[in-house]
């Protein structure tokens, strides 16, 4: 821990927060149990959530863990750690940078408790979800509210959205430009694939999808390329945001659109949804079933200067 000469503790703790990444089969069970207990994910009475969480975690943990094994384990831990390290390097010594997760270790509550015991009072919490939503940033906000209610001396500032931040746009335009050069594509079609959310949340006022659309527009306009937005990784029988990525790929194949770059727009770290849902399912589907020959996706680097600079701008505005 870096030291402040006055009180031997930096004034402010910075916490980078994401969903989580189980590292064992048992950890997968805990991840699912916490996920489905969360009122931001399952909007139902507590007794229903706890019953559902117990059932889902018991039935699905082995099959879910197999997906992680297929991709060689989650890349999220390494990415979060490297981003925290790079951010720490460019901040003054009045800040201590950590990372934490909602559904796996290190948990948000535990990290804040540990930092509070070390004397930290002020916290800047930065979401790793670029487009805020009820089930993502809403969940983090609820955790912070509970912690503050029990620890009234702690102060939180929550950075929950940066869907149209120039640094965020630059992050994606840089990656896409490099991919175009790498592939030799002449005029690729950009397919922005974001994590789906239930339509019920949209009806209740969740503006996540509108922010996804805005992010896509800003990036595509900067590159002067045609684009579409789609949604992936839905689970369960409820109605989710549309169109699905698979349906858009089908339409593109019938239109003989061959140069396609998939952009995982709602993520800033590689994870199960990119490494499994896209790499193991959707892209093979496009190539083998739809016969789309020229298709690839943007791989998210473990850390990126433009993102780290953006996080610094949230902490130490110029």
Question: How are beta strands 12-18 and 95-101 bridged, if at all?
Answer: parallel
Separation of first and last alpha carbons in the chain: 25
Task: Centre a 10 Å sphere on the Cβ of residue 290 and count the other Cβ atoms it contains.
Answer: 16
Question: How are beta strands 189-195 and 260-263 bridged, if at all?
Answer: parallel
Residue 3 confidence (pLDDT)? 44
Could you give the CA distance from residue 35 to residue 23 in angstroms, rounded to a whole number? 16
- Chain centroid to Cα 120, Å, comes to 26
Could you give the CA distance from residue 107 to residue 120 in angstroms, rounded to a whole number? 17
Could you give the CA distance from residue 23 to residue 27 in angstroms, rounded to a whole number? 6
Residue 1 confidence (pLDDT)? 42
Instruction: Name the phi and psi angles at 197, rounded to 5.
Output: -130, 155
State the alpha helices, DSSP H only, in the chain: 25-37, 46-70, 76-90, 108-117, 137-150, 166-183, 199-203, 208-223, 245-254, 272, 283-284, 305-315
Q: Are 258 and 293 in contact (CB under 8 A)?
A: yes
Residue 8 confidence (pLDDT)? 58
Q: Kindly list the averaged pLDDT for each block of 10 residues, start to end, along the chain of length 318.
A: 48 97 96 96 95 96 97 97 98 96 97 96 98 98 97 96 98 98 97 97 97 98 98 90 98 94 98 98 98 97 98 90
Residue 60 confidence (pLDDT)? 95
Residue 116 confidence (pLDDT)? 96
């Amino acid at each position: 821990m870096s030291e402040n000469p006055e009180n031997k503790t930096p004034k402010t703790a910075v916490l980078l927060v994401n969903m989580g990444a189980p590292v064992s089969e048992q950890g997968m069970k805990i991840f699912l149990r916490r996920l489905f207990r969360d009122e931001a994910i399952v909007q139902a009475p507590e007794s229903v959530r706890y019953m559902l969480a117990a059932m889902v975690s018991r039935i699905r943990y082995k099959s879910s863990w197999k997906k992680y094994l297929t991709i060689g384990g989650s890349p999220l831990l390494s990415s979060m750690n490297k981003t925290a390290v790079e951010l720490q390097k460019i901040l003054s010594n009045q800040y201590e940078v950590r990372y934490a997760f909602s559904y796996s270790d290190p948990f948000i509550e535990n990290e804040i408790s540990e930092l509070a015991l070390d004397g930290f009072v002020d916290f800047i919490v930065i979401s790793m979800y670029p487009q805020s939503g009820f089930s993502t940033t809403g969940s983090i906000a609820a955790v912070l509210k509970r912690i503050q209610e029990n620890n009234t001396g702690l102060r939180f500032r929550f950075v929950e959205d940066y869907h149209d931040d120039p640094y965020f746009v630059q992050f994606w335009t840089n990656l896409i430009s490099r991919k175009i050069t790498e592939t030799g594509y002449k005029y690729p079609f950009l397919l922005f694939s974001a994590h789906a959310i239930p339509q019920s949340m949209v009806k209740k006022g969740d503006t996540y999808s509108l922010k996804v659309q805005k992010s896509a527009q800003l990036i595509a306009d900067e590159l002067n390329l045609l684009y579409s937005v789609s949604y992936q990784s839905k689970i369960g029988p409820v109605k989710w945001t549309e169109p699905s990525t698979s349906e858009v790929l089908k339409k593109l194949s019938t239109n003989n659109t061959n140069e396609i770059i998939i952009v995982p727009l709602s993520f800033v770290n590689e994870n199960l949804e990119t490494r499994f849902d896209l790499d193991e399912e959707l892209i093979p589907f496009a190539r083998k079933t739809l016969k789309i020959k020229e298709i690839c996706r943007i791989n998210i680097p473990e850390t990126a200067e433009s993102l780290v600079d953006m996080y610094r701008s949230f902490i130490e505005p110029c």
